Structure 1
Amino acid sequence: MFKTTILSAAAALLLAVPAFAEIEIHDQYARAATPTSKTGAAFMMIRNTGDEADRLIGADSDAAARVELHTHLEDANGVMRMIHVEDGFELPVDGEIAMVRGGKHVMLIGLTNALNHGDSISVTLSFEKAGDVVVDIPVDLERQDHGTMMNHGSDG
């Protein structure tokens, strides 16, 4: 009887554990506009392979004094403007966030060092449910994709 009660309690605990988002990061790279730029950006594809929707809510890096989530939006005059997205980006189940040039990206403000081609920086992405995910991001100053990856699934 005691063994059955313990097994039932253990099974109940296992079933009560919520499903967490599982985050995959790929195709990541960072760049600055010029060697003397004080700002840079990181781009990547973020995929949720878990059973639960999540939200990218922030980012941090020793590579910059401040790190923000940004996107570009068209204003009333048809001009594209970069804005800080304080509430982050939705990441649906089996969906992706396309962090690309001309779209959503991680903005690095007040670079602590130049972003030199071939170097690597570490960025911590913070998710509402999955928590912090540390990503090593190569600096690629030659890449010319200009947002061409925007058709990769849902970009939340």
Structure 2
Amino acid sequence: MGLAVFTLALLFATTHSLVAQEFKAGDIEIVHPWSRATPEGAMVAAGYLTLKNHGNSPDRLVSATGEVAGMTQVHEMAVDANGIMTMKQLADGLEIPAGGEVALKPGSFHIMFMDLKQPVKQGQPFKGTLTFEKSGTVEVEYAVDAMGGGHDDHGG
């Protein structure tokens, strides 16, 4: 009986780490960084995650890197006055309000990995960094979903 309980506890602990990837930088909690697989020959990929600021003052995501990319930027997608989807780099970074959170998700804020060095493949996580104005730099790992996969199962 004790061995069965231990085995179940161990299984839960290892499975839980696959589902809930969390990283910390100062007052900033980074919840489940993820990306989607890319087709052969693709030159860009996107990264998504949720940033939670547990501090009493705002912080700002000012830059990012990804080992799969030659260049990485923080971007925003929006719909302009004519109903056209636009994407632009956030040159001043992305503010995370004190006591608040910001979701980087498809169709909104995201990390843009450009000049890919290799395809991003499902089930093959990759490393990167996030740099915050006040909280410094933290290394993260992006889980990789299937092409067209969503983030509903990531809790982000």
What's the TM-score once normalised by structure 2's chain length?
Answer: 0.75
Q: Trace 1:14-93 onto structure 2 (pairs within 5 A).
A: 21-93=26-98
CA contact (8 A) 1:42 1:107 kept: yes
Matched residues in 1 for 2:151 and 2:28: separation? 23
Matched residues in 2 for 1:47 and 1:86: separation? 21
Given residue 55 of structure 1, which amino acid in structure 2 is its aligned partner?
Answer: R
Higher strand content, 1 or 2: 2
Number of residues of Structure 1 aligned to a counterpart in Structure 2:
129
Matched residues in 2 for 1:62 and 1:93: separation? 30
Identity of aligned residues (%): 33
Q: Trace 1:3-18 onto structure 2 (pairs within 5 A).
A: none
Give the CA deviation at 1:78: 1.1
CA contact (8 A) 2:38 2:121 kept: no
Specify every segment of 5 or more residues in structure 2 that has no aligned partner in the other structure, as ranges. Answer: 1-24
Give the CA deviation at 1:92: 1.1
Give the CA deviation at 1:33: 4.5
CA contact (8 A) 2:50 2:101 kept: yes
Q: Which of residues 112, 116, 121 is equivalent to 1:107?
A: 112
Q: In structure 2, what is the equivalent of residue 6 of structure 1?
A: none
Q: Which shifted more, 21-30 or 128-137? A: 21-30
Rg (Cα) greater in structure: 1
CA contact (8 A) 2:130 2:140 kept: yes
Matched residues in 2 for 1:113 and 1:79: separation? 30
Given residue 104 of structure 2, which amino acid in structure 1 is its aligned partner?
Answer: M
Matched residues in 2 for 1:65 and 1:100: separation? 22
Give the CA deviation at 1:51: 2.7
Given residue 39 of structure 1, which amino acid in structure 2 is its aligned partner?
Answer: V
Segments ≥4 residues shifted beyond 2 Å = 32-36, 142-146
Q: Trace 1:129-144 onto structure 2 (pairs within 5 A).
A: 129-141=134-146, 143-144=149-150
Specify every segment of 5 or more residues in structure 1 that has no aligned partner in the other structure, as ranges. Answer: 1-19
Matched residues in 1 for 2:37 and 2:87: separation? 15
Over aligned residue pairs, what C-alpha RMSD do you find? 2.0
**Residue by residue, what CA displacement relative to the aligned partner does 1:94-121 show, whole Å, maximum 9, x if unpaired?**
1111000000000000111110000111
Specify which structure has the bigger relative contact order, considering alpha-carbon pairs within 8 angstroms and separated by 6 or more residues: 2
